[in-house]
Amino acid sequence: WAGLLSAPARATPASRPKPVPAPHLHPKRLSVTEVETLYRDPYALFARKILKLDALPEMAEDPGASDRGSLLHDIVAEFAETYPEQMPAGAAASLIEIGERMFRAFDETPEVRAFWWPRFLMIVQNFVGWEERRRPELARVAVEHDTQGEFPLPGGGGILLTGRADRIEVTREGKLRIIDFKTGAPPSDEQVRLGFAPQLTLEAELALRHGFPPTVRAAPVEALMYLKLGHDPKSWQKDKKLAFKDESQADVTARHLAHLLAHLAALRAGKEPYVSRRAPAYIKYASPYDQLARVKEWSAAPGLGSETGDEA
């Protein structure tokens, strides 16, 4: 009896959440970046889009990697927006002037100027050289343009798919190139091919049908590219378009769209749940919804939480 009194109570571990909401509750609109979450961690999308739960921002949070990424994106976007057709004579000076103005938003955080500004100055030369290599082939450049399209789902209903491109290049032949800038590590060609990073491929399908209104008409997309906004000159030499083993870009983008529509139809029909951390090997950071999903409890069970997933 003494042993029984001191023995811990038997605990039943939490099960992995796999909600199957009613068909009318499913989102009718998704961005291409939300599709990535849908494939990697559907429960996070369920919590935000269906339960309507948003994570609260940290109080008095210091500027971090996300802020630095947004700052650099804004600087290069304004430069391209100011000079969409032709580079200015003093391109580096113009870019630095834009940077000076935008860095003032962080005047109350002197360490931002101390650490981020020297690296930005190194990026300036890399970016200007990269622009000068590309511009002769281009008619113009557009930045931060939105696109969207309505698609019917197998079995009924539809989805409004939206996207925003960091940079759209219109070639002199009228074709498009879509570029997404990254300050962290970009996804590999293989991750894109498997469907776990479908942002650019889905944007290509939207661009083919709808363009990027009002200034970029619908046209074939000849190249998709991720480019790291880094201070290392080597990263700027890797500005190669995505290439896929045994498949053309057009085949991959069409396959990704068809797969998305079939997957959404399966979700609405209750054949697929919004499972927590569906592809954990492709999840880099903790989600604000991990605690709600009790990830640390169920993922401790053998065989759970380590799946890689062959395709999205």
Q: Where are the domains of the chain?
A: 23-51+142-298, 65-137
Mean pLDDT in residue range 120-128: 95
- Find the Cα–Cα–Cα–Cα dihedral 278, 281, 282, 283, rounded to 10°: 80
Provide the pLDDT for residue 231.
86
Is 90 exceeded by the pLDDT of residue 305?
Answer: no
Tens digit of each residue's pLDDT (9 = 90 or more) over 265-296: 999 999 999 999 999 988 888 899 999 999 99
| Res. 6 pLDDT band, cuts 50 70 90 | confident
Provide the pLDDT for residue 190.
94
| Res. 306 pLDDT band, cuts 50 70 90 | low
Inter-helix orientation angle 199-210/249-268, to 10°: 100
| Res. 245 pLDDT band, cuts 50 70 90 | confident
Residue 5 sits at φ, ψ, to 5 deg, of: -65, -35
| Res. 308 pLDDT band, cuts 50 70 90 | low
Tens digit of each residue's pLDDT (9 = 90 or more) over 196-223: 999 999 999 999 999 999 999 999 999 9
Is 90 exceeded by the pLDDT of residue 8?
Answer: no
Tell me the percentage of the chain whose pLDDT exceeds 70: 96
Tens digit of each residue's pLDDT (9 = 90 or more) over 141-175: 999 999 999 999 998 999 999 999 999 999 999 99
Distances (CA, A) of 72 to 23, 77, 127, 186: 41, 8, 11, 15
Mean pLDDT in residue range 99-124: 95
Mean pLDDT of the chain: 92
Q: Is 311 helix (H, G, I), strand (E, B) or coil?
A: coil
Work out whether the CA dihedral 219, 222, 224, 227 comes out positive or negative: negative
Is 70 exceeded by the pLDDT of residue 309?
Answer: no
> Using CA atoms, how far apart are residues 42 and 19, in angstroms rounded to an integer?
10
Is 80 exceeded by the pLDDT of residue 256?
Answer: yes
Tens digit of each residue's pLDDT (9 = 90 or more) over 42-82: 999 999 999 999 988 777 678 888 899 999 999 999 999 99
